[in-house]
Chains A and B, each alone.
Chain A
Amino acid sequence: MSNVTRRTFNKLLGAGAGAMAMPGLLRAQGRKNVVIVGGGAGGATVARHLAEKAGGAINITLIEDSEKYTTCFFSNLYLGGYRDFASITHGYDRLVNDYGIRKITARAEEIDRTAQQVRTSTGETIPYDRLVLSPGIDLMFDSVPGYSRELAEIAPHAWQAGPQTQLLKSKIDELKNGDQVVMVAPPNPYRCPPGPYERVSMIAHTLKSRGLDDCTIVVLDPKDKFSKQGLFTEGWEKYYPGMVEWYGPNIHGGIKGVDVKAGTVETDFDTFSGALLNIIPAQQAGSIAISAGLSDDSGFCPVDAETMRSKRDENIFVIGDASIAGAMPKSGSAANSQAKVVVMHLMGDLEDARVFPARYLNTCWSLVETNDGIKVGAQYANVDGAIASTSSFISQPDESADIRRQTFEESVAWYDGITKDMFG
């Protein structure tokens, strides 16, 4: 829509003046500049919805490192063989061609908050009136002694989707009967609280369907409880009896370190060997948010509950995994919801549009076994300066197979919806 408007506008002007020079000039003059760093669940949603609302009145620049975005959501279903890789990978073509968004494929290297500009790895300097950061997470490799970025090529984390996810899948496919998989789960806070446990289910599903029932999956967890625990453990008992062993800190006593080449994880209690190690380290906000001075001691960025504006800089919004969003978990669904609050405030700041009380939403679906989906979710609002839950739901352990199938089908429709909502 914005594209059509802009084209028509340019054509009208082109009739009288130096047609070639005008569009660039127009871009520079008058219109406000919004720069978005990160084209994932948060950033792509801001780009698309802002373009729709602003209808060409705002210059939108999306700085994203990758040509294509592979969603972490449903990457476990790819591991389980329910999805192919292409179906979880999305391009930016429609955002560029249909929504008139400028996509720069580069890293944002530095943010100059005084001059209000972003420098990219391709050497460009992009000025902004408002900046939105949705850079996701950085993995703190050294939170697991012995692990490193390089060793992730042998023991994948697959907690940022893409080649890592494909590597993990190929390693799962190479397993033989009797092999053991050892997962080191991440400490709080991390992206997608049910994610590690959905992954366990999907790995078990793959092994079981290949007849490798003597395989085991050991989860060494730094947490003493986890998201949807009752539902997952019920599912593991029902579908994968004897295959999954979960150890909390009360049992393993602490994860001491990993020897990736030897294929072992050492804990206080014992040393665990695996033919495949899946190490998911601790996490912090994407480094660009930290180097811009927007984070606190937790490694994540404090934001205003009503607007998602950084508490350190009123011209910058931080959303998604990088933000401290009160009771909201770090999820694609949460990032997408926060993006909409930000778009409303960008339109309020720059175009004097009306603003309304912020509402937020999260839903996290997980697949335990074919047609057995579970879900958890909540609505949130600004309650006395903090994002707090106002109503919620969670699947129940005794639900019928029909409800579980319906939940799985909803999750498929949700995936379809959220990726269209992000990429057009």
Chain B
Amino acid sequence: MHDSHRKHRETDGGGGLTAHVFRALGNYKIWLFAACGIFVIPHFSFADKAAQPPIPDLPLGEAIGQVLAMPGDAEYGAYLATECVTCHQQHSVNHAIPAINGLPREYFVEAMLEYKYHLRDNSVMQAIIGSLGMEELSALATYFSTKD
């Protein structure tokens, strides 16, 4: 079945397209305009690049200080945290995603900002912090520091 099918494709006239050509060029890389018989080998657009805000100008130390100086709205933090707990469980059972409950505010804020400043390179966390402002960060820090 397999063979006859392939043969059928090889002998297919029209577009002048053969299985050999498909194979040689890596089939899934070829886009064929069958009607006019033109091959286009596309560059797969890695338009799919990460889109994250640029690293802030403010020095990291100052950013940490500013966030820590904010009171941190724990209720807001409780809402924002619902997103985090899908990945960060109460007790870490898998080292790939650590538990974050009870992290001291200072550690928490610094760790988060290290993702923002690309001093930590995990792309999931970089995207997450990329959409959090200082107020949100402070709210989350307050919330998580009081959880056990």
Contact = CB atoms under 8 A, between A and B. Distances in A.
Nearest to A336: B86
B5 interface: yes
B31 A410 contact: no
Contacts of A337: 83, 86
A356 B45 CA distance: 37
Contact of A343 (B23, B27, B82, B96): B82
Given A230-B44, A397-B46, A246 B27 contact: yes
A359 B83 contact: yes
Given A361-B128, A392-B51, A416-B94, A248 B31 contact: yes
Contact of A421 (B30, B49, B86, B123): B86
B48 interface: yes
Interface in A369-424: 375-379, 381, 389-397, 406, 409-410, 412-414, 416-418, 420-421
Contacts of A229: 44
A393 B44 contact: no
Interface in B118-137: 123-124, 126-128, 130-131
Contacts of B30: 251
Nearest to A228: B48
Contacts of A336: 86
A291 B138 CA distance: 45
B32 interface: yes
Contacts of B17: 251
B7 to A, nearest CB: 11
B20 interface: no
B57 to A, nearest CB: 18
B50 interface: yes
A245 B22 contact: yes
Contact of A394 (B2, B48, B86): B48
Q: What DSSP secondary structure best describes chain A's contact surface?
A: mixed
Contacts of A237: 26
A416 B44 contact: no
Contacts of B86: 333, 336-337, 361, 414, 417-418, 421
B25 to A, nearest CB: 11
A184 to B, nearest CB: 15
Contacts of A178: 2-3
Contact of B79 (A263, A273, A344): A344
Contact of A250 (B31, B126, B127): B31
B97 A410 contact: yes
A412 B34 contact: no
A180 interface: yes
Given A379-B127, A391-B51, A391-B127, A230 B46 contact: yes
A336 B97 CA distance: 18
B53 interface: yes
Interface in B21-58: 22-23, 26-34, 44-46, 48-53
Contacts, number: 153
Contacts of A85: none
A377 B124 contact: yes
Nearest to B136: A359
B96 A251 contact: no
A391 B131 CA distance: 6
B131 A359 contact: yes
A52 B48 CA distance: 38
B89 A412 contact: no
B70 interface: no
Nearest to B44: A230
A359 B80 contact: yes
A361 B81 CA distance: 12
A31 to B, nearest CB: 22
A250 B44 contact: no
Interface in A274-308: 275
A272 B9 CA distance: 9
Given A391-B127, A406-B96, A354 B75 contact: yes
A392 B131 CA distance: 9
B76 interface: yes
B94 A409 contact: yes
B26 to A, nearest CB: 6
B85 to A, nearest CB: 6
A247 B127 contact: no
A379 B28 contact: no
5 contacts: A263-B1, A361-B83, A391-B130, A393-B50, A410-B124
Interface of B: 1-5, 8-9, 12, 15, 17, 22-23, 26-34, 44-46, 48-53, 75-76, 79-80, 82-83, 85-89, 93-97, 123-124, 126-128, 130-131
Given A247-B27, A375-B123, 9 more contacts: A49-B82, A219-B28, A245-B22, A245-B28, A333-B86, A378-B127, A379-B131, A391-B53, A394-B48
